[in-house]
Copies of this chain bind each other. A is one copy, B any other.
Amino acid sequence: MSKYQHIKQSAYDANMQLPKLNLVLFTFGNVSAVDRELGVFAIKPSGVPYEDLSPEKMVIVDFDGNIIEGDLRPSSDTKTHAVLYKHWTGIGGIVHTHSTYGTAWAQSQRCIPIFGTTHADYLTVDIPCAPPMNDEMIKGNYEHETGFQIINHFESMGFDYKEVEMILVGNHAPFTWGKTADKAVHNSAVLETVAHMSYLTEQINPKAPRLQDSLIKKHFERKHGPDSYYGQ
């Protein structure tokens, strides 16, 4: 049995959640799960339908994007995952989808405004939207550069990837992450729901104000602060 079996299983389980949560059409998404000790991650093979996946088909890749184990070609977005794992050392899993509402906001090149407590339960700022990449980055090592586009946007905004676990890449689609692959998938579903709610909010009231600071802080703290009292 592969010594990477545990992350293959985690990546498989997390990938299989995407169609169940209605986050993907066909193969429009991928999840990876990392083993920090071994310095590798398991990721979905490219273009393989979810119904044909198995843990054994996950591909093992290192943080420079080299294939370590696996017969199939890894996701075309593999280098983006690799860059994020290499630079953000606290991440355990990464998800990329083209979920409908999240992608629509990315195509609109707008951050998703924080309008309510559903959003504040997860992050205290608008869901960031990195600007579209420039022609040089696109024509170069595209997926590699996508990772840096994300990291650079976080640095320019002063965001901490442990507090803000999601981003839109302008004209493209959402990326999310978390301590585990499962948590990263959870964040993808939250992003999609918040994207839907924020869209509706602006349609219902184009002048809807952003959430007041006290409520943002309260909801985030009760779930993530030192005195949190949400969950078990």
Contacts and interface: CB of A to CB of B under 8 A. Distances in A.
A19 to B, nearest CB: 12
Interface stretch (A3-11, A32-40, A110-118): A110-118
A209 interface: yes
Contacts of A173: 116-118
Interface size for chain A: under 10, 10 to 19, 20 to 34, or 35 or more residues? 35 or more
A54 interface: no
A73 B232 contact: yes
A156 interface: no
Contact of A230 (B47, B138, B211, B215): B47
Interface in A24-44: 25-26, 28
A85 interface: no
A212 B135 CA distance: 8
Contact of A100 (B45, B107, B139, B196): B196
Contacts of A204: 104-105, 108, 110, 199, 202
25 contacts: A25-B193, A26-B190, A46-B230, A47-B230, A48-B232, A73-B231, A73-B232, A100-B193, A103-B116, A103-B197, A104-B201, A105-B204, A107-B116, A107-B197, A108-B204, A108-B208, A110-B205, A117-B172, A118-B173, A135-B214, A138-B212, A138-B215, A171-B211, A202-B204, A203-B203
